[in-house]
Amino acid sequence: MLNGRPVAKPGGPFSRLETGTPGTGTDTPGTTTVGTVDMVEPRLGLPNLGLGIGLRTVHYNDILGHWPPVDWFEIISENYMDSHGRPRYVLDQISERYPIVMHGVSLSIGSSDALNFEYLKRLKALAAQIKAVWVSDHVCWTGVAGCNSHDLLPVPMNEQTLKHMIEKVRDVQDFLERPLILENPSSYLAFADSTMPEWEFISRIVEATECGLLLDVNNVYVSSVNHEFDPEFYLRSIPHEHVVQFHVAGHTNLGTHIIDTHDGHVIDRVWELFRLAYQLTGGASPLLEWDAQIPEFSVVHAEILKAQKYIDGEAVDFSSDEASAPARADGHSETVPHPASFVRAEVE
Ligand SMILES: [Fe+2]
């Protein structure tokens, strides 16, 4: 028991479900009645899809030509919501052969603006058309007063924001008629108005709304360096039964801070944190994000296959990987990519 939370046994079912006799009714998806208390099933009852890759335009021909043995793909929702050209044709082909998960960057759940139900309508329609296994977005805001910053901006983590976001998450889930899966962001600044740590803020959202958690382990690491907190404490403190999916990715270490660039291999420390998170949660679907300086498909595929060795508990030596160094020697470009910039500017 840590911080008042039960800890799932490695590889086993959520411990609280072992303490009583399951009832016969399941009131809402992802919950099981134990005695008089509703318990959340691991991953909200959603499947562990295996090892997934973020679908990117540069890999279309590779995938269509070879149908690689990837367990599932994640798409950036906004890249396909309004597309009826080649991207949508390719997605339809892929969705006939692989499970697809939708990952959005425009919900802006933390904004003081009202929800955009036109956006949600298109999001829901695409999810139905491609039979998306789940739909995710970020704990962030992307704009205000109708202006889009095209960035995933942090929120002040206090009671006022919490109440605001919980109401909006409930409205989104009611509209989508499915759980929303929310991702912890990477961040580079903190608000003076914040009154609680990120792990507590996110935990209270997911527990109040019964939504899912997309645990980006790289983001935990990036923010832990930028804000000087213990990433393992963060991983042990979240409600593990709500974790539906993992993200892993590369980043850029600038020495004084880290930027979430998704432009290289996953470093050893992030893989080690992933192993801990996988054990604590009893397992969920890992997904590799590689969004800038994207190499050929075989390199991306090989990177996510490393996850299996950490899941299996094998000792892995990736010391020869160039990205294992704490700081990049190449210095990178003056502008760094960010998840919100991964939405294609043009339809191909
Ligand atoms: Fe992510």
SS (H, E, C) 274-297: HHHHHHHHCCCEEEEECCCCCCCH
Instruction: Tell me the CA–centroid distance for residue 19 and ligand 1, in Å.
Output: 34
User: In angstroms, what is the span from residue 35 Cα to ligand 1's centroid?
Assistant: 37
| 226 neighbors 193 (Cβ within 8 angstroms) | no
- pLDDT confidence bin for 307, thresholds 50/70/90: very high
Reading the block at residue 201, the tokens are: 């803020």
Instruction: Annotate 17-46 with b (16+ C-beta within 10 A) or e (fewer).
Output: beeeeeeeeeeeebbbbbeeebbbbbbbbb
Query: Which amino acid is it at 239?
Result: P
pLDDT(180) > 50: yes
How much distance in Å is there from the Cα of 313 to the middle of ligand 1?
A: 23
Q: Per-residue pLDDT tens for 16-63? A: 233 333 333 344 456 555 454 567 789 999 999 999 999 999 999 999
Q: Predicted confidence band at 148 (pLDDT cuts at 50, 70, 90)?
A: confident
Compute, in angstroms, the gap from residue 221 CA to the centroid of ligand 1: 12
Q: What is the whole-number distance in angstroms between the Cα of residue 115 and the centre of ligand 1?
A: 22
Calculate how far, in angstroms, residue 102's C-alpha sits from the geometric centre of ligand 1: 12
What's the gap in Å between 20 CA and the centre of ligand 1? Answer: 36
**CA distances to 197, 220, 290, 315 from 230, in Å:** 11, 9, 25, 23
Domains of the chain: 43-314 (3.20.20.150)
Ligand 1 centroid from CA 155, angstroms: 17
pLDDT tens digits along 216-263: 999 999 999 999 999 999 999 999 999 999 999 999 999 999 999 999
Going by pLDDT thresholds of 50, 70 and 90, the confidence category of residue 315 is low
pTM assigned to the model: 0.83
Containing 103, the helix (H) or strand (E) segment is strand 100-103
Beta strands in 190-309 (DSSP E): 212-216, 243-249, 252-253, 258-259, 285-289
Asked whether residue 71 carries a pLDDT value surpassing 90, the answer given is yes
What's the 247 CA to ligand 1 centre distance in angstroms?
Answer: 5
